[in-house]
Amino acid sequence: MKHLFIINPAAGSRDRTKEYTQAIREVCEPRGLDYRIQVSQAPGHCRQLAREAAESGEEYRIYACGGDGTLNEVAAGAAGFPNAAVTVFSGGSGNDFVKLFSDPKAFFRLDRLLDAEEVSFDMIRCNDSLALNICSVGLDARIGTDVANYKRIPLLQGFRAYAVSTLVNVVRGIGEHYVVEINGETIDGDQTFVCVCNGRFYGGGFNPVPEADPTDGILDVLLVKKVRRLQVPAVIGKYKSGRYKELTELIRHFRTDRIVIHCDGDVPINLDGELRRGRVVEMSVAEEKIRFFYPRGLTW
């Protein structure tokens, strides 16, 4: 078994490369593990490093050292390879995906990650990209992908960065026209956003569909109609806590394996906090699965 630690110096509010390196060496060397550390040099490099390890054919455990964006890249690089399993050695600003588990703080402890269990998780195929957690289009995507502009400002980590991004983007405008194809139905109208869930948490603690299950082969989709600015705080409050069923006049919930969104122009797409753009957005349950390992004894 080989262990690959991929450090993303851009994750979180500061570069934690030295801290990660020290922690990895202190835990791995006394155990005599076959390990190496690689540091990402640019966006997409984490994905490349994970793919190179997976393509070697050797048995690998790959640790995404960072947050949700780092995990997204590493999972996308290793997805579909039976010899590679991934996890996250948490250190980003949100660390939302692992809130799925009973003790998310365990992912900050490397000794816990070395004593691990595994599960096979679904992935989301979004056009030519893969995501593990949650994707969105519309206001939510603008908010989610703009968070990076604020998270390195002092006192604006986690949900606070998301709140500031929300305020800025609400001022810019709320609704956009989409034609949405889902479960044999075509929905033509103005929407605030479309959220597609494989996991449960994102945006510094938002939990839009608490029952979402990344092993069931189904995506949980929330289609949020255009709302007035004065409605935004109330809608976001219930959406954040998974109370979408209380807003049936504004939010429709679908369970599906595929959705296509036709947009009037080139729009931002949020993939686990990473930005993509497109005019036609097709999301589906990916053929590729990911082996995910987590500290022994946790439930999800």
Output the pLDDT for position 234.
87
Residue 151 scores a pLDDT above 70: no
Q: Is 38 exposed, middle or buried (0-12, 13-18, 19+ CB in 10 A)?
A: middle
Looking at per-residue confidence, does 42 or 167 come out higher?
42
Per-residue pLDDT, 150: 67
In the chain, the percentage of residues whose pLDDT exceeds 90 is 74
User: What's the mean pLDDT in 152-158?
Assistant: 67
- Architecture of domain 129-285 in CATH? Sandwich (2.60)
What is the 8-class DSSP label of residue 201? -
> What does the pLDDT read at residue 85?
98
53 in Cβ contact with 27 (< 8 Å): no
- Cα gap 271→47, rounded to integer Å: 14
pLDDT value, residue 227: 86
Map tokens 């504004």 to a residue: 250
pLDDT at 233 > cutoff 80: yes
Question: What Rg do the C-alpha atoms of the chain give, in angstroms?
Answer: 19
Q: What are the beta bridge partners of residue 284?
A: 125, 258
Q: Is pLDDT above 80 for 173? A: no
The residue among 156 and 108 whose pLDDT is bigger is 108
What's the mean pLDDT in 149-155?
68
Mean of pLDDT values over 177-185: 97
Which residue, 129, 2, 130, is CA-closest to 63?
A: 2
- Under CATH, which architecture does the 2-123+289-295 domain have? 3-Layer(aba) Sandwich (3.40)
Q: Where are the domains of the chain?
A: 2-123+289-295, 129-285
- Residue 143: the pLDDT is 77
Question: pLDDT higher for 18 or 151?
Answer: 18
Check residue 238 and give its pLDDT.
93
pLDDT of 81 strictly over 70: yes
Look at the block and give the residue holding tokens 């588990």.
Answer: 101
Report, in this order, helix, strand and coil percent for the chain, each rounded to 5.
30, 35, 35
102 neighbors 126 (Cβ within 8 angstroms): no
Q: Which residues are bridge partners to 280 per DSSP? A: 262
* DSSP letter, residue 235: H
Average of pLDDT values for 72-85?
97
Name the residue with higher pLDDT: 162 or 286. Answer: 286
Residue given tokens 């979402």 in the structure block? 212
| Res. 159: pLDDT tops 70 | no
Whole-number Cα distances in Å, 57 to 54, 60, 79, 84: 6, 9, 13, 8
22-66: per-residue pLDDT in tens?
Answer: 999 999 999 999 999 999 999 999 999 999 999 999 999 999 999
Token representation of residue 120: 């096979």
pLDDT at 161: 75
Q: Where are the beta strands (DSSP E) in the chain?
A: 2-7, 34-39, 60-66, 84-90, 116-121, 124-126, 129-131, 134-138, 176-182, 185-197, 219-225, 251-256, 258-271, 274-285, 290-295
Q: What is the DSSP code string of 243-279?
A: -GGGGTTTEEEEEESEEEEEEEEEEEEEETTEEEEEE
pLDDT tens-digit profile of 4-25?
A: 999 999 887 789 999 999 999 9
CA separation for the pair 53, 216 (Å, rounded) = 28
Cα 208 to Cα 196: distance, rounded to the nearest angstrom: 10
pTM confidence score: 0.90
Q: What average pLDDT score do residues 71-95 get?
A: 93
Q: How confident is the model at residue 224 (pLDDT cuts 50, 70, 90)?
A: very high
Whether 211 shows a pLDDT value over 70: the answer reads yes
If pLDDT is split at 50, 70 and 90, which confidence band does 288 have?
very high
